[in-house]
Structure 1
Amino acid sequence: RSFITVTAAILALCYKHRMKHIQQVLTCPAENASSGTDEDRHLQQLTRTQEFRRHLLADVCAKYQPGIIQRRVSQQQVSRVYVEDRSRLLYCEVPKAGCSNWKRVLMVLGGSATSIRDIPHDAAHYSNHLRRLESYDHASIAERLRSYTKVLFIREPFERLVSAFRDKFESPNSYYHPVFGRPIISRYRTNVT
């Protein structure tokens, strides 16, 4: 459920052994609507949801960012975008939406590792194996934005919030507790130790 917005292509990869059936359901929804299984109906609903989201995204982008393709993109605007040149892929990181695993996938695609299981959490986040789009010059940024496949994965906002809380505050953490935890507690409680 957390990744309900994953595209049909990614979903198809997850159900690789049933690719042929999924393709049939996605391409012929009218034929399968009345006699389909629960999975067929789920896939049809997912397809409709994805189509709605694509239209919504296009409408919002057109409304708030008209002509953005023609404008120069600043490095700050692409500071959370990672580049995998070998696969011609741009990944826009959304914290607490699977970004650790997607960074591992990029590292494997780029040849830095052979398996995502071999990459520790800190290596995915703090190593120099991944290049950010902001590190390129303006012409290279524009070319990659124009020609590379771009992906973004989201997660239900409250799930992200709970995940962040559990990850950063539930267990002892030498950075987040003193830097963020104490100020939050002192704002709502007097005589904090």
Structure 2
Amino acid sequence: MGTSRMFRIFVVLGSAFMILLIIIYWDDVGASHLYLHTPVSPGPKIPHPPPHHHHQPQTSRTPSFLLDIDAFVNQFLEPGTGEPTDPAPADTSNQSEKAEERYVPRREWKIHLTPVAAELRERQEQRRRLLQEMCANDSVAFPGKNRSFDDIPNRELDHLIVDDRHGVIYCYVPKVACSNWKRIMIVLSESLLRDGVPQRDPLAIPRDLVHNSSMHFTFNKFWKRYGKFARHLMKVKLKKYTKFIFVRDPFVRLISAYRNKFELRNEDFYRRFAQVMLRRYANQPTPPASVDEAFGGGIHPSFSNFIQYLLDPQTEKEMPFNEHWRQVYRLCHPCQIQYDFVGHLETAEDDAEHLLRQLRVDNVVEFPTSHRNLTASTWESDWFSTLSAEARRELYKLYEPDFRLFGYDRPDSILNE
């Protein structure tokens, strides 16, 4: 009788001790905030084997912690048979209902019966190959070119938008149709609801929401969500997801940035940048206090003042370039991230159609084309005629990596005038 009571006491104490250990363990794990979004495409559910009552011997080799995490993440990211549109696998056990239960393909993925035009496929192959060659070419040098992805500070990853529902990563470049591509990402990720229903019309998304950072899940937010697993999960998603970027002739992009931010009334850009340009380069020691007052007096920085600001070493000593004129290689890190699709604004219509088809979401969303007040490349000579030859050459040197990485010709007609 005494032995039986002692046994029960030990069982109770042992159970209490195990519960305490479990509570402590989950408190520790919970602090890391490890959770994942909806998978790209659901893989087959693997039933858990029934518990064995006999003791399982431990193996002598224990996999590394990161390999365990990688395997765990792969359960969420790997499609069941490699393609999200594959049919359900054959049921060898004659249990069709269970097979259907194990594999549920995404209904919105589109199956195409005709291949993408060879010309478009070759265009993408050439652009990707050029990026790889330029990144390996010592003649193309720029700060940060040879660093690893781990060396990129978290704050510099804020332009990489992630859509976990479809397995897409988009690096947005301001003044390269990024407003409409952000709209596409909002539609795909279903991050905007109207009366409980995801917004499906990109053009119905207000501009203030398009550029609201809370609407987009970017790499720089991974630390807050995933804690110490953030960098590893970034690498996993970079490996598994389709990554795309859209670029533009660097000089035309600068003209577009100037027109949009300094020829139109923009209080924020006037106070942060225009007043500085007016004081330093336009002989305006006390520029007007507001953009309305400045425009009322016909005062705003000239394009030449803007270029002087970019070429002035003092500018980046005070703060990094604003994203609207920061070089693409600094925004999107093309030598650290292997992009699967490189679009050009000059071929935007064909590239957008090709990309959405490649993502198999062209039945879900269409890219909204817009030709409103576009900056044309044929305007370059007129705009740059106000600059000295030396300033043009210095400006090219500043943006030369973007020209060469993305296949834009050296603008000799402008540089040699």
Cα offset for 1:60?
A: 2.7
Deviations 1:100-137 (A, max 9, x none): 11110000001122211111111011151211012221
Counterpart residue type for residue 132 of structure 1: T
- Cα distance in 1 for residues equivalent to 2:156 and 2:262: 29
Cα offset for 1:79?
A: 2.1
More off after superposition, 175-184 vs 59-68:
59-68
The DSSP-based 3-state class of the residue aligned with 2:215 is: coil
The DSSP-based 3-state class of the residue aligned with 1:177 is: helix
The DSSP-based 3-state class of the residue aligned with 2:174 is: coil
Number of equivalences: 154
Deviations 1:77-111 (A, max 9, x none): 42210001101100001111111111100000011
- Cα distance in 1 for residues equivalent to 2:272 and 2:153: 30
Q: Residue 144 of structure 1 aligns with which residue? A: 237
1:170 aligns with 2:263: yes
The DSSP-based 3-state class of the residue aligned with 1:153 is: strand
1:108 aligns with 2:184: no
Normalising by structure 1, report the TM-score. Answer: 0.69
Q: Residue 126 of structure 1 aligns with which residue? A: 212
Cα distance change of structure 1 residues 73 and 161 upon mapping to structure 2, 3 Å threshold: closer
> Unaligned regions of 5+ residues in structure 2, if any?
1-112, 139-144, 193-198, 223-229, 288-417
Deviations 1:56-84 (A, max 9, x none): 11123345767947x57642342210001
CA contact (8 A) 1:89 1:148 kept: yes
Q: 1:184 aligns with which of 277, 285, 295?
A: 277
> Unaligned regions of 5+ residues in structure 1, if any?
1-18, 28-43
- Cα distance in 2 for residues equivalent to 1:158 and 1:120: 29
CA contact (8 A) 1:90 1:150 kept: yes
Cα distance change of structure 1 residues 51 and 152 upon mapping to structure 2, 3 Å threshold: same
Q: Which has the higher helix share?
A: 1
Deviations 1:23-69 (A, max 9, x none): 4xx44xxxxxxxxxxxxxxxx4x665543322111123345767947
Normalising by structure 2, report the TM-score. Answer: 0.34
The DSSP-based 3-state class of the residue aligned with 2:166 is: coil
State the structure with bigger RCO (CA 8 A, min sep 6), 1 or 2: 1
More off after superposition, 145-154 vs 135-144:
135-144
Q: Residue 73 of structure 2 aligns with which residue? A: none
Cα offset for 1:156?
A: 1.1
Q: Residue 178 of structure 2 aligns with which residue? A: 99
Q: Which has the larger radius of gyration?
A: 2
CA contact (8 A) 1:73 1:142 kept: no
The DSSP-based 3-state class of the residue aligned with 2:214 is: coil
Cα distance change of structure 1 residues 68 and 184 upon mapping to structure 2, 3 Å threshold: same
Please identify runs of 4+ aligned residues in structure 1 that moved more than 4 A: 46-49, 63-69, 71-74
- Cα distance in 2 for residues equivalent to 1:88 and 1:183: 42
* Identical amino acids, percent of aligned pairs: 32
Q: Residue 126 of structure 2 aligns with which residue? A: 52
CA contact (8 A) 1:72 1:138 kept: no
The DSSP-based 3-state class of the residue aligned with 1:131 is: coil
CA contact (8 A) 1:83 1:90 kept: yes
Cα offset for 1:181?
A: 0.8
